[in-house]
């Protein structure tokens, strides 16, 4: 429960409020100043004056939404005025930015006159790409939105009406599917006939609920034909010929209750009077029409939803407005029409049936989440809502004729949406697309594990790889069924029953017989899934291997060295981490294998890292790090790095590499400028070679936790064929990403001439990460 003081402190501590304006262009020099303002700013002004649509090219208009309110219906607080409602509008802006990367100015209008609101908003059209009306009371809100949609050529959307309707509509569709009821026959009672209630009824009608099966109830009772008190044209549309007069009357035999009214107005008896398998959406905030505990105690066959996050099935408007506007803005829609609203509902309903990412499961208490009575609507923090819903809305805008800038490539559009959530998603989409061109066979020794099975399902669905799962066929089949996954096309192999088992034992024995392994040992070792998987890769039955979810690094690295072996031109292996920041990607080595490398080993780590980075279509700029800048401190530690730099330059003269240098020198151009006369590193380094495992491990973990970077890895370098390590606790999405990277590496290897594998084993140490 949020305490009053907690809320006040949240808003008042540090920078006041919740929003700020951050420039998107640099303003550090006199030249920058001349571009950001006069005289340079005159040029885009001239272009826009000649071609008004160029405002979308030269200004932020296309990604800017106004959140407009007069404060007459603020949350459950009522008419508290525009100034008191400002924290809500700022919060709305935060949600737009957090969930869909849309910029917002909140505008509070000090008037109760609907026509004045209309006039103010209409005059704002040159500034904004869209208008989100917020917390304006009914029935004025209906008139304001209707009039603005007539006179404005940008999307106007009253979220209090349509947001609840769109999201609860998705919950309704899924709940009806679970209960086996037809939407055409469903009887629906609406408690509340204000903005949200009327909009829900209209939207449900478009989804398939028949008007004669709907009943609206407000503070005066049932909205029936002939009623005079508290009526308006919007309610009149839904007036029915009925003898029911109270909410209790209306709920008798109803299939669905849609509550957008007030707390504690529904009793257990009312819920018991509903039809079999009732659906109750009690969405009054912050307290529902009936509590979750009361409703579920009244009926054990109920599907219950609320607006609260502490119970299952939260109907939260944040699942709607950010993504609806994202799709509308991206096609420069002139309006948000019914087709777009229905598309948003269908996207949410369909997404609910997909496998839920680990990041979402972790955010909601690590309890398994799957489509069913307690999961009929996606969770607000599910990142996939962005590209599912925005894409559906954009397509509907195009198909309904309101899109002025149609999207030509929806796959690229989806990638751009993922990139808005962070550069790491953009980077990984690169690998996924490359992998999809020529999927390879990737073996998963831990094939019985839930996360592996879920990842394999995604890999198959997106055509990233051809997964091979090692384990008991019956157990894997059972778990696939329990998880509700589709894994048709995955190969399942029980190593002990494989027709290759005996041949692998013989080959493994021949390989290891003079290295401490007897025939008996070989037969016993082959029961180990990692050993069997490595033999599959060695013998060409698989193109790569991914393992480590349930074991330490050495249990994967050691058999990889013993069976697959190092590449012919390398003497050590090493681990590389890709650190993805918002605006750049940096690589760090070696944080995995070599605890205290010699100068020669450090040089080889740098060369391996540079080669790997080139494979990713990135031009490497390598900095060899120490606590000294180019000889400023003499010490055996710095001398080791200096010697390593010399070796790298001899072996790879075309590589941009320099050192020894401090970490800030490597990445800060203003510091590096002091050394430009002699340094060969002419741009900020993107490959950072640390002098030992301790510093590398500390660096990548601090960058991840304090620097906000996403760590992808470790990527094992120097092994002849792709072997990728998983850390215990890794998420399903990370396994999918590593699979894509393994496939890309396998593609590159198949494109080059392959030499026979020579398994060479030398003493080594492996850091357990």
- Please give the Cα distance from 528 to 480 (Å, whole number): 22
- Is 553 catalytic? The answer is no
- Torsion of Cα atoms, 220 then 221 then 223 then 225, to 10°: -90
| Phi, psi for residue 555 in degrees, rounded to 5 | -70, -15
For the four alpha carbons of 585, 590, 593 and 595, in that order, the dihedral sign comes to: negative
Task: Find the catalytic residue in 37, 150, 683, 705.
Answer: 37
Q: Could you tell me the strand order of the sheet in which 723-725 lies?
A: 491-493, 465-470, 440-444, 544-547, 723-725
What's the gap between Cα 548 and its chain centre? 24
Q: Helix, strand or coil for residue 188?
A: strand
Give 706's contacts (C-beta < 8 A, 6+ positions apart). Answer: none
Secondary structure, 3-state, 618-652: CCCEEEEECCCCCCCCCCHHHHHHHHHHHHHHHHC
Please pick, among 61, 92, 137, 640, the residue that the annotation labels catalytic. 92
Q: How far is CA 383 from the centre of its chain?
A: 3
Segments in 101-255 forming alpha helices (H) = 114-122, 140-151, 159-179, 195-207, 233-236, 247-251
DSSP H or E stretch at residue 492: strand 491-493
Q: Residue 224 to residues 241, 271, 275: CA-CA distances in angstroms?
A: 6, 22, 22
Q: Is 92 a catalytic residue?
A: yes
Question: By the 8 A CB rule, do 727 and 548 touch?
Answer: yes
What is d(CA 420, CA 407) in angstroms, rounded to the nearest whole number? 17
Task: Return d(Cα 155, Cα 66) in angstroms, integer.
Answer: 11
Closest CA to 587 of 546, 620, 615, 625: 620
Which residues are the active-site residues? 37, 92
């Amino acid at each position: 429960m949020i305490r009053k003081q907690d809320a006040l402190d949240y808003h008042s501590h540090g920078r006041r409020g919740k929003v700020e304006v951050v420039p998107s262009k640099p303003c550090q020099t006199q030249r920058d100043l001349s571009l950001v303002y006069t005289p340079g700013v005159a040029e885009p002004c001239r272009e826009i004056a000649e071609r008004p649509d160029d405002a979308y090219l030269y200004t932020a208009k296309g990604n800017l939404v106004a959140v407009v309110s007069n404060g007459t219906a603020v949350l459950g607080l009522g008419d508290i005025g525009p100034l008191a409602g400002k924290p809500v509008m700022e919060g709305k802006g935060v949600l737009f930015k957090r969930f869909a990367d849309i910029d917002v100015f909140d505008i509070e209008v000090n008037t109760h006159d609907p026509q004045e609101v209309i006039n103010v908003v209409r005059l704002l059209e040159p500034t904004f790409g869209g208008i989100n009306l917020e917390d304006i009371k009914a029935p004025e809100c209906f008139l304001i939105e209707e009039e603005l949609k007539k006179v404005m050529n940008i999307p106007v959307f009253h979220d209090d009406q349509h947001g609840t309707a769109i999201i609860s509509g998705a919950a309704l569709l899924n709940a009806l599917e679970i209960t086996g009821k037809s939407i055409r026959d469903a009887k629906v009672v609406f408690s509340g006939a204000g903005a949200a209630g009327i909009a829900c009824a209209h939207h449900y009608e478009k989804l398939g609920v028949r008007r004669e099966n709907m009943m609206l109830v407000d503070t005066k009772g049932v909205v029936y034909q002939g009623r005079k008190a508290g009526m308006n044209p919007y309610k009149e549309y839904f007036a029915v010929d009925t003898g029911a007069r109270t909410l209790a009357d209306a709920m008798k035999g109803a299939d669905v209750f849609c509550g957008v009214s007030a707390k504690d107005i529904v009793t257990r008896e009312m819920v018991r009077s509903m039809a079999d398998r009732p659906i109750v959406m009690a969405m009054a905030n912050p307290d529902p029409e009936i509590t979750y505990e009361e409703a579920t105690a009244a009926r054990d066959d109920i599907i219950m939803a609320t607006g609260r996050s502490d119970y299952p099935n939260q109907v939260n408007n944040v699942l709607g407005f950010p993504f609806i506007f994202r799709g509308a803005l991206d096609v420069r829609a002139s309006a948000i029409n019914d087709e777009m609203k229905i598309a948003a509902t269908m996207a949410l309903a369909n997404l609910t049936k997909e496998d839920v990412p680990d990041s979402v499961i972790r955010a909601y208490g690590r309890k398994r989440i799957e489509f069913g009575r307690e999961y009929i609507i996606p969770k607000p923090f599910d990142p996939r809502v962005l590209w599912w819903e925005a894409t559906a809305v954009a397509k509907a805008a195009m198909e309904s004729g309101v899109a002025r800038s149609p999207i030509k490539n929806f796959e690229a559009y989806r990638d751009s949406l993922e990139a808005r959530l962070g550069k790491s998603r953009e980077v990984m989409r690169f690998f996924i697309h490359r992998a999809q061109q020529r999927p390879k066979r990737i073996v998963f020794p831990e094939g019985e594990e839930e996360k592996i099975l879920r990842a394999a399902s995604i890999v198959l669905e997106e055509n990233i790889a051809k997964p091979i799962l090692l384990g008991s066929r019956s157990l894997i089949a059972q778990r696939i069924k329990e998880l509700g996954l589709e894994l048709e096309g995955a190969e399942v192999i029980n190593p002990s029953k494989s027709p290759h088992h005996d041949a692998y034992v013989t080959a493994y024995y021949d390989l290891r017989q003079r290295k401490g392994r007897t025939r008996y040992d070989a037969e016993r070792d082959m029961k180990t899934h990692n050993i069997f998987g490595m033999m599959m890769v060695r013998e060409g039955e698989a193109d790569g291997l991914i393992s480590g979810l349930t074991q330490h690094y050495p249990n994967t690295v050691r058999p990889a060295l013993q069976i697959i072996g190092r590449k012919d031109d390398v003497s050590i292996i090493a681990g590389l981490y890709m650190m993805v920041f918002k605006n750049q990607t940096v690589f760090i080595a070696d944080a995995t294998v070599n605890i205290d490398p010699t100068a020669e080993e450090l040089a080889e780590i740098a060369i391996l890292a540079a080669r790997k980075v080139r494979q990713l279509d990135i031009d490497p700029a390598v900095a060899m790090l120490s606590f000294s800048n180019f000889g400023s401190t003499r010490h055996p530690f710095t001398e080791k790095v200096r010697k390593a730099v010399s070796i790298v330059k001899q072996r790879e003269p075309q590589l941009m590499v320099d050192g020894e240098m401090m970490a800030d020198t490597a990445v800060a151009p203003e510091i590096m400028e002091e050394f430009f006369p002699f340094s060969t590193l002419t741009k900020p380094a993107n490959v950072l070679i640390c002098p030992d495992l301790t510093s590398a491990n500390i660096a990548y973990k601090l960058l991840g936790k304090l620097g906000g970077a996403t760590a992808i890895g470790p990527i094992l370098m120097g092994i002849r064929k792709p072997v990728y390590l998983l850390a215990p606790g890794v998420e399903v999405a990370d396994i999918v990403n590593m699979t894509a990277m393994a496939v890309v590496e396998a593609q590159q290897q198949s494109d080059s001439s392959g030499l026979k594998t020579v398994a060479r084993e030398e003493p080594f140490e492996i850091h357990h990460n």
